[in-house]
Amino acid sequence: MCGIVAYVGPQQAYPILIKGLKRLEYRGYDSAGIALLNSKLNIFKTKGKVSELEKLVKDADLRGTIGIAHTRWATHGEPNNENAHPHFSQSKSIALIHNGIIENYASLRKELESRGYVFQSSTDTEVLTNLIEDIQINEGVDLLEAVRIALNQVIGAYAIVVMSHDDNDTLIAARKGSPLVIGIGIDEYFVASDASPIIEYTKNVVYLDNEEVALIRRNKDLKIKTIRNKDKTPYIQELEMNLDALEKGGYEHFMLKEIHEQPHSIQDSMRGRLHAELGAITLGGILDYEQKLINASKITIVACGTSWHAGLVGEYLFEDLARIPVEVEYASEFRYRNPIICEKDIIIAISQSGETADTLAAIELAKSKGATILGICNVVGSSIARVTHAGIYTHAGPEIGVASTKAFTSQVAVLTLMALRLAQLKGTIPKTRFNQLLNELELIPEKVQQTLKGSKKVLEIAEKFKDVRNFLYLGRGYNFPVALEGALKLKEISYIHAEGYPAAEMKHGPIALIDEQMPVVVIATNKGTYEKVISNIQEVKARKGVVIAIVTEGDLAVKGMADYTIEIPETEEMFVPLLATIPLQKLSYHIAVMRGCNVDQPRNLAKSVTVE
Ligand code: M6R
């Protein structure tokens, strides 16, 4: 959701900025723009993709060694040329790009209008741009000070970069809520919403903290202060990411690459943590919080979307293994309720991006009530990773496809390790069973590899059902979250309506939808409520529904009833989500490709949802 890139240094800025915008395309956007300073400050912007922007500037003067660029995901105002960023201030003396939302923009705009400002767009961003200019003029302060004063008047979330037409050497960047990273090269600086546009130039970065403003000057040291005017020392970190992770590596789409990376990404999530041969699990990130976990009276998991589905698997795991009550909450609901949280509670916040606005707000709420917050994040250094008391990185590597795939299985792998470790600490699991589960968990990456081989069958099913309008996904127990996740994957990338349901709930409503046209995907693996799920399949068949079943290798009972079956390897019931999700990801992928959809950047969606 919205991407920022900026550069100042000895190189030409345009190629760096445009490449950076392309690296950020995965975040989701609907317009793009760039500002460059040579003899004058020029802005080029257009609705549509970065490729449209490239066409627009084909014959323009693109010289300049300082510039800012942006991809916008519309919040205030439709996605058109006027609302695209960068925005000029009224006198065209400054240009600004912004991610986030200025909540009090309407009153600020009114005030500025009363002082003669005329707005070219309907964005909150242009309001901030003019506010900064107004402060500069009326208070006679430099750009840094004007930005700092303006941000003290702003309510909301922002990551901004500002440049001025009369200073070829300076960028001002600031953040609150939305992320911002500053890359430090040799005599040059890069600014971006995440590290992906920076990684090929430098590994040394500074993550700005909330309410910090950075003064970034050519050939000068980076200076940071808070918006309350307190100096801060920049903390330089080294990026662990490598460039290959940001390329498609021969795959047609990032999503397909990421689906196929899962044997490794799951392995990476467990590396150094799972020691089956020693009968041990070490979770360094939360070691200091183990006693709090043992003493906790309940765990609340907060997350959104796919991460929420992973949380639901977590609920089953923690209750099953560690015998502790767990609630899984949509962060967006939790933050506006008056939830009952006490100091002994543990909150687990799950987020691939670590930037989801609702999840961040849920964390702040729980924190204010004294709870201990543990994070499960993929993006190192992300906002959620930084505001939680402690946490565990999933180490799945960058996920570029908007549809979450490897992040989900890595989140489930980490939750599995946490639940097993807590069970061990609390003594709720016999040692032999614990060791047995650890040995099986160690085999999961290999079993995911085997699961990925069953592609032919999935392709055949995709071909058959690519044109239907509705799908139903059913599962029980550990397979219920898998059904939800399968349905979400299909709808977000193929735009086919799909619903996930607990299989037994079908007869309380959705059964009315079933006819010969309605494919019903049933996760019917051979443990837990297997017999019950077989009854649910019979109920579908009795109404002439078409059943696509995910079954355990060698299954005969379901095979005899279902129209199509996809086999996955045998495993413990609690590990089935790590396998059963894979063919559902592939089914969605192939259907979406066959329907000609933009798989990696589905319409209207953003990779990290940084506004509520
Ligand atoms: O970055 P997060 O895990 O916090 O994101 C949460 C959801 O926005 C995300 O999982 C979304 O549902 C995905 N597009 C699903 O594929």
How confident is the model over 89-103, as pLDDT tens digits?
999 999 999 998 898
Q: Is 607 a known active-site residue?
A: yes
The burial of 180, by beta-carbon neighbours within 10 Å (0-12 exposed, 13-18 middle, 19 or more buried), is given as buried
Find the mean pLDDT for residues 406-415: 98
DSSP summary character for residue 505: G
Distance CA 135, CA 567 (A): 66
The burial of 10, by beta-carbon neighbours within 10 Å (0-12 exposed, 13-18 middle, 19 or more buried), is given as exposed
- Mean pLDDT (the chain) is 94
Beta 326-330 vs 87-88: how paired, if at all? Answer: unpaired
Q: What are phi and psi of 400, to 5 degrees?
A: -95, -40
Which residue type is seen at 180? L
What is the atom index within ligand 1 of the atom nearest the CA of 607?
A: 14
- pLDDT, position 498: 96
C-alpha 407 to ligand 1 mean position (Å): 9
- Residue 554's pLDDT band, with cuts at 50, 70 and 90, is very high
| Highest mean pLDDT pick, 323-332, 539-548, 603-612 | 323-332
The pLDDT tens digits for 164-202 are 999 999 999 999 988 899 999 999 999 999 898 999 999
- Residue 569's pLDDT band, with cuts at 50, 70 and 90, is very high
Query: Which of 509 and 15 is assigned the larger pLDDT?
Result: 15
- pLDDT, position 514: 87
C-alpha 591 to ligand 1 mean position (Å): 20
C-alpha 446 to ligand 1 mean position (Å): 26
What is the atom index within ligand 1 of the atom nearest the CA of 405?
A: 16
Q: Is 404 in the pocket of ligand 1 (CB under 6 A)?
A: yes
Q: Is 546 in the pocket of ligand 1 (CB under 6 A)?
A: no
Q: Is 377 a known active-site residue?
A: no
What is the atom index within ligand 1 of the atom nearest the CA of 379?
A: 1
Catalytic residue among 2, 304, 377, 597: 2
Cα angle 302, 304, 308 (rounded to 5 degrees) comes to: 65
SS3 content of the chain, % helix, strand, coil (to 5): 40, 25, 35
Q: Is 402 in the pocket of ligand 1 (CB under 6 A)?
A: yes
Atom 7 (ligand 1): residue with closest C-alpha?
Answer: 305
Site to substitute for ligand 1 among 259, 304, 330, 492, most atoms within 8 A of C-beta: 304
- pLDDT, position 79: 82
- pLDDT, position 494: 96
Q: Is 332 in the pocket of ligand 1 (CB under 6 A)?
A: no
Query: What would the DSSP string read from start to end of 313-369?
Result: HHHHHIIIII---EEEEEHHHHTTS-----TT-EEEEEESSS--HHHHHHHHHHHHT
The pLDDT tens digits for 420-445 are 999 999 999 999 999 999 999 999 99
Q: Which of 50-59, 504-513, 549-558 has the lowest mean pLDDT?
A: 504-513
Atom 11 (ligand 1): residue with closest C-alpha?
Answer: 305
Largest CA distance in the chain: 81
- pLDDT, position 530: 86
C-alpha 495 to ligand 1 mean position (Å): 17
Query: What would the DSSP string read from start to end of 540-602?
Result: HHHTT-EEEEEEETT--TTTTT-SEEEEE----GGGHHHHHHHHHHHHHHHHHHHTT--SSS-
Cα angle 239, 243, 244 (rounded to 5 degrees) comes to: 135
Coil, strand or helix at 206: strand
- pLDDT, position 29: 84
DSSP summary character for residue 304: -
The pLDDT tens digits for 368-401 are 999 999 999 999 888 999 999 999 999 999 899 9
The pLDDT tens digits for 319-358 are 999 999 999 999 999 999 889 998 999 999 999 999 999 9
Q: What are phi and psi of 119, to 5 degrees?
A: -100, 140
- pLDDT, position 328: 98
Domains for the chain: give ranges and CATH numbers.
Answer: 3-239 (3.60.20.10), 247-452 (3.40.50.10490), 453-600 (3.40.50.10490)
C-alpha 354 to ligand 1 mean position (Å): 10
- pLDDT, position 249: 78
- pLDDT, position 197: 94
What is the atom index within ligand 1 of the atom nearest the CA of 356?
A: 4
Q: Is 64 in the pocket of ligand 1 (CB under 6 A)?
A: no
Q: Is 608 in the pocket of ligand 1 (CB under 6 A)?
A: yes
- pLDDT, position 605: 84
Q: Is 416 in the pocket of ligand 1 (CB under 6 A)?
A: no
Coil, strand or helix at 405: coil
Which residue type is seen at 44? F
**For residue 504, pLDDT beyond 90:** no
- pLDDT, position 216: 98
Quick one: tokens of 475? Answer: 């599962």
What is the atom index within ligand 1 of the atom nearest the CA of 608?
A: 1
Find the mean pLDDT for residues 130-156: 96
Q: Is 304 in the pocket of ligand 1 (CB under 6 A)?
A: yes
- Residue 25's pLDDT band, with cuts at 50, 70 and 90, is confident
Distance CA 89, CA 118 (A): 10
Dihedral (CA of 520, 526, 529, 531) sign: positive
The CB-based long-range contact list for 425-431 (8 Å cut-off, 24+ gap) reads: 425/290, 425/293, 425/294, 426/294, 426/322, 426/323, 426/324, 428/321, 428/322, 428/323, 429/321, 431/279
Distance CA 432, CA 188 (A): 57
C-alpha 283 to ligand 1 mean position (Å): 24
Beta 212-217 vs 170-176: how paired, if at all? Answer: antiparallel
- Residue 543's pLDDT band, with cuts at 50, 70 and 90, is confident
**For residue 316, pLDDT beyond 80:** yes
Q: Is 423 in the pocket of ligand 1 (CB under 6 A)?
A: no
Q: In b/e form, how buried is each residue of 371-389, taking b as 16+ CB within 10 angstroms?
A: bbbbbbbbbbbbbbbebbb
The burial of 436, by beta-carbon neighbours within 10 Å (0-12 exposed, 13-18 middle, 19 or more buried), is given as middle
Dihedral (CA of 373, 332, 79, 121) sign: negative
- pLDDT, position 250: 82
CB 213 within 8 A of CB 144: yes
- pLDDT, position 610: 78
**For residue 264, pLDDT beyond 90:** yes
Find the mean pLDDT for residues 469-478: 95
Q: Is 202 in the pocket of ligand 1 (CB under 6 A)?
A: no
**For residue 591, pLDDT beyond 90:** yes
